Chains A and B, each alone.
Chain A
Amino acid sequence: MTRKKTIMLSVLNYTLWSHRGGLFFVSFSIISFQVLIALVWNSLGETAAVGFIELLPDDIKNLMESQFGFIPSAGIGGWLASLNRHPIYIVLFSTFAISVGVSSVAREIETGSILYVLSKPISRSKFLFEKIVAAIIGISILNLVGLIGLLLSLVFFSNDNPQYSFFYVSLNSLLLFCTVNSIAVMISAGSEDSGAVTGKTTAVILAMYFIDFLSNVWPYVSPLGSISIFHYYQPSKIIENGLLPWSDFSVLIILAVIFYGIAIFVFKSRDISR
């Protein structure tokens, strides 16, 4: 009898395949969110939309500026790109990044499936490295979907030309959510309880989000802003300047590399006793 061969021969393929449902759901949600926002903009018209925002109380305008970084002059493209900082967008991406991070180690131990995988000739560092690469690919796919959604919205709802800065925003988003994933992987690497890892990672990300939020609206807290990873995610600035924010990118890359590195070190030296 001939053996049926499948393509799932590596941890990377296996991990991506495991998260295909989440990838599809989050992709669909991102596209829907962008279309919804574009439709709102389109139904109001640019002048009315900007006028509407101008009518809002100062505190709400400050909040929108600090969190969404809305720049009226950037038109629908700027509106859509800057909405990458909208809580819904952040929740969607973070959910995926945290979920993939949690399942990298803690859920594998919890379900016992790691015993089968690591009893084969594969090193722990290679196993976790492939999990990390799969997460980065997944987050890249979501960002690509976000970018395509943005470009499609531009095509269908306005005459604005796409700018390079949209790609930079997408790249900034990729780095931010890879850093979110790296925090989840780092916590997951030393744990065997996926619920606890989800809770701890969510708490860290939420704390950082609120530190960033408060530092934007409350001058007393502003010096603390730089300890939050969200401080290095500024779509509105990218849209405004049209430049690649090297320093923000560098900080996020360094943090992600450090957290992933710690995760690999912890996972390599820990016991799997459950």
Chain B
Amino acid sequence: MNNLPDSNLAIEFNEITKRFSKINALNELSLAVKSGEIFGFLGPNGAGKTTAIRIITGFIKPTMGTVLINGLDSWLDKEYISQTLGFVPDNSNTFSSRSGAQLLEFWTGLQKTEPFMREEIIDRLDFPRDALDRPVRTYSQGMMKKLNIIQAFQNDPRILVLDEPTSSLDPLVQKNFFEMLMEFKEKGATIFMSSHALAEVEKICDRIGIIRKGKIIATENMSSISAKYERRMEITFADDNTPDLSSIPNVIKVVKKGNTLYLRVIGPVSAIIDRFSSYQIQDLVFERARLDDIFLSYYDEEKDNNA
């Protein structure tokens, strides 16, 4: 790996505004991603995710504000930053008559570092080796996406910027891909990714940022998310004798159906457990806060505010 100037923050958006004609794609967006973390960048289509990613990678110049990558300006120092940056664009179309192997060599020639991880990544993504000699215009979307990932990861980058990296990948390859991301993180790489695969983002991301209409509306730490968001609890008792849990402060709602209590809770649950521990329990289901619920809750809030 090449060494860029050290900094605790790998990626910093400082009040970034990006205007296309009369449309504000990003609106005073500020965000910081720490070195060595996996950051999930979430939002619906058209929220500004790809614009933000293209600013990090130096394809778009902000109208106002700066994006710093390890302390360097993403627009002015793009050439230097790219030495240790791997980028997987959302757009995987290419109509080239060149083979996959030729394209990888071409991209390697531009990167100017040895692609010593290429073989390993080809294997892990289950990329058929004989397909490397075929023109890429004959590739399926999934194969093109794999080639796209190989070119970004093959030089062992220090920062990975991934725009919808798992779209078109089958579940098994997705699993291998996320394992690979964890290994890159363990080696100290910073990963900034947008994805609609919320279940996977939830598993691997350290933090998430939710963007809407070009503004960050929430950044959350995945480890503390359970303390902040509503979770569902389902307790089935052996008989009709059930405790009254509605008076416990962390319980938002209780619905009783037969022997079962359906609870919506937030924060610590020790008080709830204390209350029902003297009762005979037949079954207990307690779900983690789900990212898709959190994601949707922000959008519902926005809708309510706009209504």
Interface residues of A (CB under 8 A from B): 1, 3-6, 8-11, 14, 111-113, 115-123, 269, 271-274
Q: Is B307 in the interface zone, CB < 8 Å from A? A: no
Contact B20 A116 (CB under 8 A): no
Contact A117 B107 (CB under 8 A): yes
Beyond A9-B105, A121-B83, list 18 extra A-B contacts (CB 8 Å).
Answer: A3-B105, A5-B105, A6-B105, A8-B106, A9-B106, A112-B89, A112-B92, A112-B94, A115-B89, A115-B91, A116-B148, A117-B110, A119-B85, A119-B86, A123-B78, A272-B59, A273-B20, A273-B59
Contact A271 B59 (CB under 8 A): yes
Q: Is B96 in the interface zone, CB < 8 Å from A? A: yes
List residues of chain B with CB within 8 A of the CB of A9.
105-106, 108-110
A112 to B87, CA, bound (A): 13
- Taking a contact as CB atoms closer than 8 A, the residue among B60, B101, B148, B151 that contacts A272 in the complex is B60
Q: Which of B50, B87, B108, B109 has the most CB of A within 10 A?
A: B109
List residues of chain A with CB within 8 A of the CB of B14.
none
List residues of chain B with CB within 8 A of the CB of A273.
20, 50-51, 54, 59-60
Q: How large is the interface on B (under 10, 10 to 19, 20 to 34, 35 or more residues)?
A: 35 or more
Interface residues of B (CB under 8 A from A): 20, 50-51, 54, 57-61, 78-80, 82-83, 85-87, 89, 91-96, 98, 101-103, 105-112, 115, 118-119, 148, 151-152
List residues of chain B with CB within 8 A of the CB of A113.
94, 96
A1 to B129, CA, bound (A): 12
4 tightest Cβ-Cβ pairs between the two chains A and B: A9-B109, A120-B110, A119-B87, A112-B91
CB distance from A242 to the nearest CB of B (A): 45
Contact A4 B107 (CB under 8 A): no
A11 to B20, CA, bound (A): 30
Is chain B's interface secondary structure helix, strand, loop, or mixed overall?
helix
List residues of chain A with CB within 8 A of the CB of B50.
273
Contact A271 B101 (CB under 8 A): no
Knowing A271-B59, A272-B60, the reply to whether A4 touches B82 (Cβ < 8 A) is no
Closest to A5 in B: B105
Knowing A5-B105, A8-B109, the reply to whether A119 touches B82 (Cβ < 8 A) is yes
A19 to B87, CA, bound (A): 27
Contact B54 A272 (CB under 8 A): yes
Closest to A9 in B: B109
Contact B61 A271 (CB under 8 A): yes
A14 to B87, CA, bound (A): 21
List residues of chain A with CB within 8 A of the CB of B119.
1
CB distance from A7 to the nearest CB of B (A): 9
Q: Which of A1, A4, A119 has the most CB of B within 10 A?
A: A119
Contact B79 A3 (CB under 8 A): no
Contact A122 B110 (CB under 8 A): yes
A1 to B119, CA, bound (A): 8
List residues of chain B with CB within 8 A of the CB of A8.
98, 102, 105-106, 109
Closest to B110 in A: A120
Chosen A-B contacts, 12 in total, with CB atoms closer than 8 Å, are: A5-B105, A9-B106, A10-B110, A112-B93, A112-B94, A116-B89, A116-B107, A116-B151, A119-B85, A120-B107, A271-B61, A273-B60
CB distance from B128 to the nearest CB of A (A): 15
Closest to A4 in B: B101
- Taking a contact as CB atoms closer than 8 A, the residue among A6, A14, A120 that contacts B111 in the complex is A120
A252 to B87, CA, bound (A): 41
Q: Which of A8, A112, A120 has the most CB of B within 10 A?
A: A120
List residues of chain B with CB within 8 A of the CB of A112.
89, 91-94
Closest to B86 in A: A119
List residues of chain B with CB within 8 A of the CB of A269.
61
Contact A120 B82 (CB under 8 A): yes
List residues of chain B with CB within 8 A of the CB of A116.
89, 94, 103, 107, 148, 151
A179 to B61, CA, bound (A): 30
List residues of chain A with CB within 8 A of the CB of B107.
116-117, 120
